[in-house]
Chains A and B, each alone.
Chain A
Amino acid sequence: MSNYLDALRQELVAASDRLTQPSPAMARQRRWWRRSPRALAIALAGLAVSATAIAATTPWQPLFGDPGSPQPRVTGSAPPAGQLALLSVLRRPQTPEDRGVITQQTLRYFGTSTQGVYTSYIRQLPSGQGALPAILLPARSWQVPGLNKNDVLCLFVAEANADGGAKGCYTTTEVESGTAGGSLGAIVYGLVPDGVAQVQFDYPTGTQVVAVHDNFYEQRAPQNTVRGGGTTPVRPQGTSWLDAQGEPTTHQPGSP
């Protein structure tokens, strides 16, 4: 590399570092305010101007839960590298739809049980079953009574024709092992790693193959009638991951 360009790169990196670190000069300025009331007035006037710039650098902070309810902490940084490497849906740019009104309606089902929400990585998933789209929400932690997980990928899948849905948070290991998902009524859904283009379910009555989009699948499973008149999804005898050519992937659900 050119010495000039190398030196320029180093200057830029150092400047970027300075921009994110509070400098000793800023600390001195704070002490200076105390000595001079006039300086304080000027500083406050300046604050009104700089607040716009500060707001522009803060992470997206949509409303979680209901208005007035405690809000989870959010972060403008990226989820762990392992999750980004595993799921292309997180590597694609966030779209206006991902931040749109419909997503924000769905976020009312999330509260303070998730903390450290990576809001720039919230994704709307291609879901055709529920009244609202499914949502993928990465967060630093998920804590509910009896359960505490770190670095989670939370899924919300809306129920068809109803207000509500299913929510669960999964670790990277659970995605890799094929256990990141669940069922909601007749719908079976889940998150799968990159390279999985289809999921095959083997039922006693036959095989069903469902396409994966944005690392997410949902499928209407065969139903068993239960006592009292309700139904429950038939548990598949086997589940396989297939690639775009319909061939089994090297890594299969349940394998280490």
Chain B
Amino acid sequence: MVMAPETRSDRELLEAVRGGEAAAYGVLFERYQTVVLAYLLRRTRHREAAADLAGEVFARALLAVHRGRGAVEDTAAGWLLTIARNVLLDSVRRGRVEERARRELGIQRLALTDGDLERIDAQTGDVDRVVALVQQLPESQRAALKARILEERDYADIAADLGCSDLVVRQRVSRALKTLRSKLEAQP
């Protein structure tokens, strides 16, 4: 039985990176590039700056991983967004986009083309749409969806937390996903 890299949790990927599996960091990057970009874009409203900052965020996170730090939770989203916030604040204080981590790692600052900017718009636009639609879900469905999809918790565990049966949690997650799917399909 072989597990594809994509099925590993963020925490497992970070441990693999520390253990010398460099490609695992590529998987983590692909998993969170859009989330980090969307976060930075919403705050800077500037695509080039957001992309540049995202490079520094992932470089700073990589240095942290190799120094024995990393996500405490099973998902790295919160940890990466905390780094994004710090990189953003440091950049605002200095009046220019931070690049210390990239310099330390020997990573060149990369130029963006018009095509890159359009693709970033498309990627981050999808995130914004999904976030907005999730906010419209009933609270009970939103809680079940967050626990199951974002936190990857077992149904039984979620049921115990929410004070209902496994079956009810499954129904809420299923209804939430169905609602999201139909609304996304209905949008142009």
A residues with CB within 8 A of B: 1-5, 7-20, 53, 55-58, 75-78, 81-82, 84-86, 88, 91-93, 120, 172, 244
* Residues of A close to B123: CB separation below 8 A: 2
**Binary contact track B36-75/A, C-beta < 8 Å → 1, others 0:** 0000000000000001001100110010011111001110
Binding site of B, secondary structure by majority: helix, strand, loop or mixed?
Answer: helix
C-alpha gap A181/B70 in the complex (Å)? 35
* Residues of B close to A10: CB separation below 8 A: 26
Nearest CB in chain A to that of B4: its residue: A81
C-alpha gap A7/B52 in the complex (Å)? 12
B100 to chain A, nearest CB (A): 14
Interchain CB contact under 8 A, A13 and B23:
yes
C-alpha gap A11/B111 in the complex (Å)? 13
Interchain CB contact under 8 A, A9 and B30:
yes
C-alpha gap A76/B12 in the complex (Å)? 11
Interchain CB contact under 8 A, A86 and B1:
yes
A71 to chain B, nearest CB (A): 20
Q: Pick the contact of B113 from A4, A13, A15, A20 — CB < 8 Å? A: A4
Interchain CB contact under 8 A, B120 and A84:
no
Check B33 for interface membership: any CB of A closer than 8 A: yes
Check B94 for interface membership: any CB of A closer than 8 A: no
Interchain CB contact under 8 A, B1 and A3:
no
Interchain CB contact under 8 A, B2 and A4:
no
* Residues of A close to B62: CB separation below 8 A: 12, 15-16, 19
Nearest CB in chain B to that of A16: its residue: B22
